[in-house]
C-alpha cells in the first residue's frame, strides 16, 4: 500500500494537512537535536522528509533513514542527492532492526509508529538500539480530540481526506486506512504509559488542538 502511494506521498502530505505537517516535523527535529546527538536513526522514514531535515540542522551528525517500502526509499535517495545531503537510506523491519545494541543517540519516527504490528515489541527494539542517555521522538496522530473541533476534524479526517487522498493518489484503500489506523491508535496517556513500561522517561505535547502529538522518551 505504501509503495503504491509513494509517487504522490509528499504532495498529499502537504495538501491534506494544509502544510501543518512541516511545522510538526520541525518541532520533532528540535526535540530530537536537544542533546546534540551524533548518530541519528529516522525510522519509518518514508520519502525521507524528517531525515533530511535532521541532516540539514545537524550536518556533522550521521543520519540513517530506514523504512520497509523500497519505492519510498528510492524517492528519499533522490531527494538527498538533489539537496547534496549525505543520508544513508536502507530497508529495515522496525521489529527486528539490523543494528547493534546502543547504535544511535536519537531515534525519530514521524507518522509511522501506528503502522507497526506490535507496539510493545517495537519499543523494546527502539530502546535496544538507543545508547544510554539517548532520545526517542515519536510524532503521531492520536485519536481525534473531543468537542466541537474534534467533530469537525472527524468529518474531514474520516470522510473528506480519504476521498481527496484516494482521488489524487489513485489508491482509495490507503486513505481509508489512515483514519481507521488513527482511531485505533492509543491515546496520548496510554502511549506514554506504554513507553514508560519499555523503560523510557516520557513526556508529550499536543500540537494543533490535539490533531498531532509528540512523545519524547529518554533512555536513562
47 is in an annotated binding site: yes
44 is in an annotated binding site: no
Residue 184 CB partners (closer than 8 Å, separation 6+):
114
Instruction: In whole angstroms, give the CA distance from residue 166 to residue 169.
Output: 5
Instruction: In whole angstroms, give the CA distance from residue 167 to residue 183.
Output: 22
Instruction: In whole angstroms, give the CA distance from residue 87 to residue 80.
Output: 7
Least Cα distance to 143 among 118, 174, 173, 178 occurs for 178
Residues annotated within a binding site: 47, 67, 93-94
Residues annotated within a binding site for S-adenosyl-L-methionine: 47, 67, 93-94
Amino acid at each position: 500500500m505504501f509503495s503504491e502511494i509513494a509517487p504522490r506521498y509528499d504532495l498529499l502530505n502537504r495538501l491534506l494537512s494544509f502544510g501543518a505537517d512541516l511545522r510538526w516535523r520541525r518541532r520533532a527535529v528540535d526535540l530530537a537535536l536537544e542533546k546534540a546527538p551524533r548518530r541519528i536513526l529516522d525510522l519509518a522514514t518514508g520519502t525521507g522528509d524528517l531525515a533530511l531535515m535532521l541532516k540539514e540542522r545537524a550536518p556533522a551528525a550521521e543520519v540513517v533513514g530506514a523504512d520497509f517500502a523500497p519505492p519510498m526509499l528510492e524517492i528519499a535517495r533522490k531527494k538527498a542527492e538533489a539537496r547534496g545531503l549525505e543520508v544513508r537510506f536502507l530497508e529495515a523491519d522496525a521489529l527486528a532492526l539490523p543494528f547493534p545494541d546502543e547504535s544511535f543517540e536519537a531515534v525519530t519516527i514521524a507518522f509511522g509508529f501506528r503502522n507497526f504490528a506490535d507496539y510493545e515489541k517495537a519499543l523494546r527494539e527502539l530502546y535496544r538500539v538507543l545508547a544510554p542517555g539517548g532520545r526517542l521522538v515519536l510524532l503521531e496522530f492520536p485519536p481525534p480530540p473531543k468537542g466541537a473541533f474534534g467533530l469537525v476534524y472527524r468529518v474531514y479526517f474520516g470522510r473528506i481526506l480519504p476521498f481527496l487522498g484516494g482521488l489524487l493518489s489513485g489508491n482509495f484503500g490507503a486513505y481509508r486506512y489512515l483514519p481507521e489506523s488513527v482511531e485505533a491508535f492509543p491515546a496520548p496517556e496510554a502511549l506514554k504509559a506504554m513507553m514508560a513500561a519499555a523503560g523510557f522517561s516520557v513526556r508529550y505535547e499536543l500540537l494543533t488542538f490535539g490533531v498531532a502529538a509528540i512523545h519524547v522518551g529518554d533512555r536513562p
